């Protein structure tokens, strides 16, 4: 990995323009090789010092107010004359020193004016490239790229690029990662995508309103402060509880609505693409073959409508970070999308396969036992739990890492046992309170199924 | 120092037994070590309590029986626990079973093993013991075999690594 920038040679091709411009450019630090980011970027960077100033002002409002009154207009103007150009120059220079370069094997990102940072991202390690369009960026017509690499927790970002440039670069990176020749990859263009599903805003609103957590949030944030007010009669105490309660309720319900608004799922050769968000649009790609398990959630009030929420556990993304595949959809649509993520998996068949344990399981878990169910199909291990919100976990046989049987003294006296199936994303599916003999047979049979499942599984490729 | 590991061959066919191969128990030195660690302090505590109580409070000396009873119970319980530890190498996976009251049976396919680790502390080395730990991509997999003799641990480690390579599968 040779570092071209540090070779110290000045730009061989002098920039066009008059002698003044050339002289100016000579004054600047050597521009790193590669393509610069979008010229809007410095404005984002200029936020940092201004925000720091504002935060300092907010931190002690009184003092800032006194200063402001004491400061004469002249001083204020002078301050602005110094701060604004300084921020502009800083922003410009940091933009000047940032660039990216796509080579055959790597994406190199260089940043930093004083403290230089060079990130070399190996293309064959790229798991997903996502296009982000926050609200302000959408207004200006730029987009950021988020690069997800295997085995790294932090995601590298490339912000901002022109919208077209971002989409083209994403396509090029994915084509290169798939092993295309660099010359053809540059013009590969976005892989064609077919719309699979779009969640209508009306459905989305209804889904949020029908969730138990929504009512808990609403009632909690209204009743608890009300009771407090009735008891103490203090407005201050009321506000002290009401404001955080409302903000929490808002974040859990409306925050979710904002980020999951207008959810669309497209099928493309590099995986399922998800676009979502009301204000800022987020774009994510789910690489097929990395999905380790699927969780299907059915809150109590959704069940009558046949709605489900589908979440994924993806390798290398942690237990919870795998994310949502569908915020809300009816069963048939969910089954169709799910079949793309896990080929050969039939949601209806999986749900039908799940059966309750023996009746004596009620002694093991008095009420909950009704919710526990388990079954297997040719493709997946199915485990269900949850009385109010029904959760069904599907683990493809080929993704099973280990199988465990557990039996405590009480369960042994009832001749019951539980089987746990671990997947590669760190999640576990539990088939609880099964008949002990059945559990033993299940343990060994699951090991066999997983072995044959692995043999017949397609080669591990996230780009096909 | 160490006796030969006891082996209980079970016939294949029932759901409880591995289809092929046989269960192997762990080294008896593990039982001796645990008995020393658990019963030794209990017996000493009982003796100390008996001495102090005899000198001070006469009939209360019988209280010293409590740690001694505990030691006697632990003596048997440790033996049962030691007998419960066993593992079986099948063609494609490793089975590990342990626990008397809380029974655990874990199946780890060879192709899923990411790392095989053999550890041995100072006391374990004194008793000629080693512990084999298997790691898969799932952090929840708790697959460990205690009380192996170092040669057996090495043999198992090498075999598992070799099998893991030939049967390796992606995530």
- The answer to whether residues B50 and B64 touch, using CB atoms and an 8 Å cutoff, is yes
- The answer to whether residues B92 and B109 touch, using CB atoms and an 8 Å cutoff, is yes
Q: Do A460 and B171 touch (CB under 8 A)?
A: yes
Q: Of A325, A349, A315, which Cα lies nearest the Cα of A423? A: A315
Q: Which two tokens stand for residue A79?
A: 């301050």
- Which residues are registered as beta bridge partners of B97? B86, B105
Chain A interface disruption, residue of B107, B142, B164, most A CBs within 10 A: B107
Q: What domains can be seen in chain A, in order of their start residue?
A: 20-186 (no CATH), 191-284 (no CATH), 287-456 (2.30.29.30)
Q: Of A113, A41, A44, A53, which Cα lies nearest the Cα of A83? A: A53
Contacts for B8-17: CB closer than 8 Å, 24+ residues apart: B8/B86, B15/A437, B15/A440, B15/A441, B15/A444, B16/A440
- The answer to whether residues A132 and A283 touch, using CB atoms and an 8 Å cutoff, is yes
Please give the distance of CA A188 from its chain centroid, rounded to a whole number. 26
pLDDT at B34: 93
The HSE-up count of residue B28 (CA atoms within 13 Å, CB side) is 7
Q: Is A422 on the interface with B (CB under 8 A)?
A: yes
pLDDT at B16 exceeding the cut of 60: no
Q: How far apart are the C-alpha atoms of A99 and A111, rounded to whole Å?
A: 7
Q: Do B101 and A408 touch (CB under 8 A)?
A: yes
Q: Do A403 and B136 touch (CB under 8 A)?
A: no
Q: Do A406 and B103 touch (CB under 8 A)?
A: yes
User: Residue B32: which residues within 8 A CB-CB, separation 6 or more?
Assistant: B127
Q: Which two tokens stand for residue B31?
A: 């039982």
pLDDT at A340: 86
Q: Do B136 and A404 touch (CB under 8 A)?
A: no
User: Torsion angle of alpha carbons A146, A147, A150, A153, nearest 10°?
Assistant: -40
Q: What mean pLDDT is predicted for residues B43-54?
A: 89
In the block, which residue shows the tokens 């319900």?
A253
The HSE-up count of residue A262 (CA atoms within 13 Å, CB side) is 10
Of B104, B111, B138, the CB nearest to A422: B138
User: Could you read off the pLDDT tens digit of each residue along chain A, which spans 464 residues?
Assistant: 334 333 333 444 444 557 777 777 777 777 777 788 888 777 765 566 666 666 666 666 666 666 666 666 777 777 778 877 887 788 788 888 888 888 888 888 888 777 778 888 888 777 778 888 888 888 888 888 888 776 666 677 887 888 888 888 888 888 787 777 777 777 766 667 788 889 998 998 898 888 887 888 788 778 877 888 888 777 787 787 778 878 877 777 788 888 888 899 988 777 788 888 888 888 777 777 778 899 999 999 999 999 999 998 887 654 445 578 899 999 999 999 998 888 888 899 998 999 998 999 888 888 888 899 999 998 899 999 999 899 999 999 988 889 999 999 999 999 999 999 998 877 889 999 999 999 999 998 998 888 777 666 544 444 33
User: Residue A190: which residues within 8 A CB-CB, separation 6 or more?
Assistant: A167, A168, A170, A171
User: Residue A115: which residues within 8 A CB-CB, separation 6 or more?
Assistant: none
Tell me how long chain B is. 171
The three state secondary structure string of chain B is CCCCCCEECCCECECCCCCCCCEEECCHHHHHHHHHHHHHHHHHHHHHHHHHHHHHHHHHHHHHHHHHHHHHHHHHHHHHHHHHCEEEECCCEEEEEECCCCEEEEEEEHHHCCEEEEECCHHHHHCCCEEEEEECCCCCCCEEEEEECHHHHHHHHHHHHHHHHHCCCCC
Please give the distance of CA A221 from its chain centroid, rounded to a whole number. 28
Contacts of A440 in chain B (CB under 8 A): 15-16, 105
Q: Do A440 and B109 touch (CB under 8 A)?
A: no
Of A437, A446, A460, the CB nearest to B170: A460
- The answer to whether residues A238 and A228 touch, using CB atoms and an 8 Å cutoff, is yes
pLDDT at A180: 72
Contacts of A423 in chain B (CB under 8 A): 138
- The answer to whether residues A99 and A36 touch, using CB atoms and an 8 Å cutoff, is yes
Q: How far apart are the C-alpha atoms of A86 and A104, rounded to whole Å?
A: 38
If you average pLDDT over every residue of chain B, what do you get? 83
| Other beta carbons within 10 Å of B62 | 10
pLDDT one-digit tens code per residue, A358-367:
999 888 888 8
Q: How far apart are the C-alpha atoms of A66 and A63, rounded to whole Å?
A: 5
Residue A234 burial by Cβ neighbours in a 10 Å radius (0-12, 13-18, 19+):
exposed
Q: Do B15 and A441 touch (CB under 8 A)?
A: yes
Q: How far apart are the C-alpha atoms of A196 and A79, rounded to whole Å?
A: 55
Q: How far apart are the C-alpha atoms of A264 and A268, rounded to whole Å?
A: 13
Query: Can you spell out the DSSP letters for A194-216?
Result: EEEEE--HHHHHHHHHT-HHHHH
Of A408, A437, A446, the CB nearest to B102: A408
Residue of A nearest to B93 (CA): A447
Q: Do A409 and B136 touch (CB under 8 A)?
A: no
Q: Of A360, A46, A444, which Cα lies nearest the Cα of B106? A: A444
User: Residue B23: which residues within 8 A CB-CB, separation 6 or more?
Assistant: B7, B8, B9, B10, B17, B86, B87, B88, B95, B97
Chain A interface disruption, residue of B81, B87, B104, B138, most A CBs within 10 A: B138
Peptide bond just before A309 cis, omega within 30 deg: no
Residue A74 burial by Cβ neighbours in a 10 Å radius (0-12, 13-18, 19+):
exposed
Contacts of B103 in chain A (CB under 8 A): 405-407, 412, 417
Residue B58 burial by Cβ neighbours in a 10 Å radius (0-12, 13-18, 19+):
exposed
Contacts of A452 in chain B (CB under 8 A): none
């Amino acid at each position: 990995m040779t570092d071209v920038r540090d070779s110290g040679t000045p730009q061989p091709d002098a920039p066009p323009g008059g002698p003044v411009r050339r002289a100016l450019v000579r004054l600047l630090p050597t521009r790193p090789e590669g393509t610069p980011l979008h010229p809007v970027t410095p404005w984002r960077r200029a936020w940092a010092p201004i925000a720091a100033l504002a935060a300092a002002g907010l931190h002690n409002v009184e003092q800032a107010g006194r200063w402001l009154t004491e400061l004469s207009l002249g001083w204020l103007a002078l301050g602005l004359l110094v701060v604004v150009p300084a921020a502009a120059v800083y922003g410009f220079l940091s933009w000047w020193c940032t660039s990216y370069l796509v080579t055959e094997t790597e994406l190199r990102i260089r940043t930093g004016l004083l403290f230089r940072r060079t990130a070399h991202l190996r293309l064959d390690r790229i798991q997903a490239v996502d296009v982000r369009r926050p609200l302000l960026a959408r207004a200006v017509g730029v987009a950021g790229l988020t690069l997800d690499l295997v085995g790294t927790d932090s995601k590298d970002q490339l912000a901002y690029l022109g919208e077209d440039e971002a989409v083209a670069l994403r396509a090029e990176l994915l084509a290169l990662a798939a092993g295309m020749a660099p010359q053809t990859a540059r013009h590969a263009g976005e892989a064609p995508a077919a719309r699979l599903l779009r969640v209508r805003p009306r459905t989305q609103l209804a889904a949020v309103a029908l969730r138990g957590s929504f009512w808990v949030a609403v009632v909690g944030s209204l009743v608890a402060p009300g009771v407090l007010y009735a008891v103490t009669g203090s407005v201050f105490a009321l506000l002290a509880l009401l404001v955080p309660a409302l903000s929490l309720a808002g974040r859990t319900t409306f925050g979710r609505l904002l980020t999951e608004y207008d959810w669309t799922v497209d099928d493309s050769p590099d995986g399922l693409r998800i676009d979502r968000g009301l204000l800022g649009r987020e774009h994510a790609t789910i690489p097929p073959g990395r999905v380790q398990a699927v969780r299907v959630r059915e809150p109590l009030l959704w069940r009558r409508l046949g709605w489900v929420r589908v979440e994924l556990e993806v390798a290398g993304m942690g237990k919870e970070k795998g994310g949502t595949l569908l915020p809300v959809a009816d069963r048939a649509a969910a089954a169709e999308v799910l079949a793309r993520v896990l080929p050969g998996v039939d949601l209806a068949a999986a749900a039908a396969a799940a059966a309750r344990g023996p009746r004596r399981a009620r002694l093991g878990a008095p009420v909950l036992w009704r919710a526990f169910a388990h079954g297997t199909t040719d493709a997946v291990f199915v485990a269900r739990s949850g009385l109010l919100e029904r959760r069904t976990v599907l683990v493809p046989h080929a993704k099973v890492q280990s199988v465990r049987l557990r039996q405590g003294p009480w369960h042994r006296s009832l001749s019951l046992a539980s089987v746990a199936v671990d997947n590669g994303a760190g999640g576990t599916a539990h088939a609880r309170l099964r008949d002990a003999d059945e559990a033993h047979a299940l343990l060994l049979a699951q090991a066999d199924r997983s072995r044959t499942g692995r043999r017949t599984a397609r080669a591990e490729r996230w780009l096909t | 120092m160490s006796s030969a590991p006891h082996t209980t061959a079970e016939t294949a066919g029932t759901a409880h037994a591995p289809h092929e191969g046989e269960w192997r128990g762990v080294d008896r030195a593990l039982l001796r070590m645990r008995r020393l660690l658990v019963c030794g302090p209990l017996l000493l505590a009982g003796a100390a309590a008996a001495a102090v109580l005899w000198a001070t409070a006469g009939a209360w000396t019988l209280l010293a029986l409590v740690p001694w009873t505990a030691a006697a119970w632990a003596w048997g319980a440790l033996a049962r626990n030691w007998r419960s530890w066993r593992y079986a190498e099948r063609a494609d996976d490793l089975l590990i079973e342990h626990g008397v009251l809380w029974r655990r049976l874990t199946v780890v396919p060879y192709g899923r093993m990411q790392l095989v680790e053999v550890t041995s502390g100072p006391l374990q080395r004194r008793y000629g013991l080693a512990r084999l730990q298997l790691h898969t991509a799932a952090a929840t997999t708790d697959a460990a075999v205690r009380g192996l003799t170092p040669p057996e641990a090495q043999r198992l480690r090498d075999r598992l690594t070799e099998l893991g390579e030939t049967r390796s599968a992606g995530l």
